[in-house]
Amino acid sequence: MKNSYPKAFIFGAGASGKDLLPTIRKQYQIIGFLDNEKSKWGKSLEGLPVSDPKSVLEADYDADVIGTYVGLEIITAQLLDMGVKRGQIDDSYVSQSVKSRIVFLEKLGEVFDENGTQGCVAEGGVFQGDFAEEINRVFPRSRLYLFDTFSGFDERDVALEQKHKYSELGAGHFNSTSEEVVMSKLPYPDMCVIRKGYFPETAMDVDEVFCFVNLDFDLYKPILAGLEFFYPRMVSGGVILVHEYFSDSYKGVKQAVKDFAESKGGIRLFPIGDGMSIGVLC
């Protein structure tokens, strides 16, 4: 029987696109992935070809489904600039998650203001700075520490991932970023301190207390190191948010949280409603 579902591309040939594929297939006939990383073009993901986004201009299809949580607005603008009609762009599989995480951050900021909770804020695993921008906006008076290699996953972390089969991505993944890209997005760049390099080496001389930290390293080793570094430096009532906790493609994240919680005992965890993150109440 011929598949009657509308034909679609998934924009984002990464872990998120792979995780979302089974769900998206309930509504669409997927004919391929699109990605801005040239190194992925001509390859395949889950048996589907990965192509240059511009290839859709000559394709017979019905929709572009956004399958990445990073750069949602930028990708939408890119497709519109290419001539894709707004009605052909489906961001419903990721937009709710992105918006939920931002709403959580905003409401947490309001609670902190009401309670007089103060401290520095930080993010580990910054990539292109989309969520760092939100942290800086919500906490304009807090010093913001940003930790990232700015050259993608480090081989020292990837080796452990491969050994335990936590994830499949190699060294250098998420390298399409720079300090300049991140700083250009921040509404209060003067409050930002960028620590470029391998974590936790880049944090060894940081002597601060924190009220909010977002850990988005994606891999077991830096997530565990992030929890071990920040947890004792958090103010009472502070929150560490761990992204990708519920991801099937980054199994090391959940394992790192579980191992940390087991080693400490009494760690209070709570989901925030974005389907991806777990909160650690300090």
- The domain 96-281 is placed in CATH, from the list 3.40.1050.10, 3.40.50.720, 3.40.50.150, 3.90.1150.10, at 3.40.50.150
Q: Look up the pTM and report it.
A: 0.89
Contact between 247 and 255 under an 8 Å Cβ cutoff? The reply is no
| Confidence tier at 2 by pLDDT (50, 70, 90) | low
What fold does the segment set 7-90 form as a domain?
A: Rossmann fold (3.40.50)
Q: Calculate what percentage of the chain has a pLDDT beyond 90.
A: 88
Most confident of 66-70, 170-174, 242-246: 242-246
Domain ranges for the chain: 7-90, 96-281
Q: What's the whole-number average pLDDT of the chain?
A: 94
